[in-house]
Amino acid sequence: MTGVLGGTLERALAPALERAGHREAEAGARRSLRLPAHGGPVLALEDITLSFGGVTALAGISLAVRAGEIRAIIGPNGAGKSSLVNIVSGAYRPDAGRVWIGEESFSQVPAHRLAQLGVARTFQNLALFRGLDVVDNIVSGLAYRARSTLVEQVLGIGRAARETREARAAADEVIATLRLEAVRDRRAGTLPYGLQKRVELARALVARPRILLLDEPLAGMTATEKQEMAGFIRAARERWGTTIILIEHDIGLVMGLSDQVAVFDYGRKIADGPPAEVRTDPVVIDAYLGIPHDIEAGGGI
Ligand SMILES: Nc1ncnc2c1ncn2[C@@H]1O[C@H](COP(=O)(O)OP(=O)(O)OP(=O)(O)O)[C@@H](O)[C@H]1O
């Protein structure tokens, strides 16, 4: 029966997987990736529960993400994906459970220390400074680091001058990796949507976070833009070893891009494993295709 269900999901996902187009190349890229040999979890959730009034958004969620991993979190609407990102980024305090970031554990992640903890995030909606150049938008991702005084900054001397030089160098490295050279000095607000999303990714990467939370990075993009963005997410991980947590609705791309996929449904984690396993898991198929188990037991779909 599993085989039949597995085949059903394969068929359901086939067009998306076909669009992704380079599963084999991606598998090869994963094989050649230099992950730390004994990378322990860089991020772990321990029995996290979160409710809003009578609605349970997350019910006893545990999750461990290894250093350098691309971990997708997928699930139908309302499954609890954004709640999880908001807990990791400190916007929400769970009712119970702890979050581990590296060696430190928290009942609520201190949002003001997020950058210092090495965590960066992007948002579902664009949040760029539309009137600023691309490079200045990217440099703004380093603002929290500035140690120079206001006087030094106004006069452009001392630590401020050095910080400016270092920030530009860091921004230019990200610009080169994400192939943004041609629009470096363009106003962000004048760029097509897909490029603006790429600038957001660059801004989140400029401080070289250990952990990057991407909330629907491919939403609203054309198929070509999605392919490009998936390539740049992979490039960032390969260049800097960034651990990436990815919330995404495009299952085809997720399956090709991620090392591990956790599937949520109604606030519970119903599957967690490599894409090939998750894709054929009957529980996941039920959640996505709405195939009741009694039909499965009855032998026909
Ligand atoms: N701030 C909030 N106030 C009240 N209820 C909330 C809040 N945030 C989330 N919820 C509820 O918690 C549940 C999980 O929502 P969440 O946004 O985390 O799911 P999701 O998987 O990200 O959904 P989507 O894919 O639609 O963004 C939903 O029932 C939602 O209505």
Give a yes or no: residue 147 inside a domain.
Answer: no
> Which DSSP symbol is given to 259?
S
CA nearest ligand 1 atom 11, residue: 57
Ligand 1 neighbour 77 (Cβ under 6 A): yes
**Could you give the number of structural domains in the chain?**
1
The reported pLDDT for the residue numbered 297 is 39
Give a yes or no: residue 55 inside a domain.
Answer: no
The reported pLDDT for the residue numbered 100 is 97
9, 112, 182, 254 from 257: Cα distances, Å: 18, 31, 26, 5
Cα–Cα dist 115/121, whole Å? 10
Q: Ligand 1 mean position to 251 CA, how many Å? A: 19
ipTM for the whole complex: 0.96
The reported pLDDT for the residue numbered 266 is 93
The reported pLDDT for the residue numbered 259 is 96
The predicted-structure confidence for 16-61, as pLDDT tens digits, reads as follows 333 333 333 333 333 333 334 445 799 999 999 999 998 999 999 9
Instruction: For residue 191, give the 3-state DSSP assignment.
Output: coil
Ligand 1 neighbour 80 (Cβ under 6 A): yes
Give a yes or no: residue 250 inside a domain.
Answer: yes
CA nearest ligand 1 atom 3, residue: 52
Give a yes or no: residue 101 inside a domain.
Answer: no
Give a yes or no: residue 28 inside a domain.
Answer: yes
Cα–Cα dist 229/248, whole Å? 12
Give a yes or no: residue 301 inside a domain.
Answer: yes
Ligand 1 neighbour 289 (Cβ under 6 A): no
Give a yes or no: residue 271 inside a domain.
Answer: yes
Ligand 1 neighbour 52 (Cβ under 6 A): yes
Cα–Cα dist 26/257, whole Å? 7
CA nearest ligand 1 atom 16, residue: 80
Strands lying side by side in the sheet with 41-52: 55-66, 41-52, 96-101, 104-106
Pairing of strands 119-122, 211-215: parallel
Q: Ligand 1 mean position to 169 CA, how many Å? A: 39
Q: Ligand 1 mean position to 131 CA, how many Å? A: 32
What's the sign of the alpha-carbon dihedral 146, 152, 156, 162? negative
Dihedral angle at the C-alpha atoms of 225, 127, 131, 148, nearest 10 degrees?
-120
Residue 243: domain span: 1-37+65-93+106-118+209-301
At residue 45, what is the residue type?
L
The reported pLDDT for the residue numbered 253 is 86
Cα–Cα dist 44/206, whole Å? 24
Ligand 1 neighbour 92 (Cβ under 6 A): no
pLDDT tens series, the chain, 301 aa: 333 233 444 344 444 333 333 333 333 333 333 334 445 799 999 999 999 998 999 999 999 999 999 999 999 889 999 999 999 999 999 999 999 999 999 999 999 999 999 999 988 777 788 899 999 999 988 876 556 566 556 666 566 677 788 888 999 999 999 999 999 999 999 999 999 999 999 999 999 999 999 999 998 899 999 999 999 999 999 999 999 999 988 788 888 999 999 999 999 999 999 999 998 899 888 887 665 544 443 332 2
116, 160, 190 from 146: Cα distances, Å: 12, 8, 28
Q: What is the CATH number of the domain that holds 250?
A: 3.40.50.300
Give a yes or no: residue 258 inside a domain.
Answer: yes
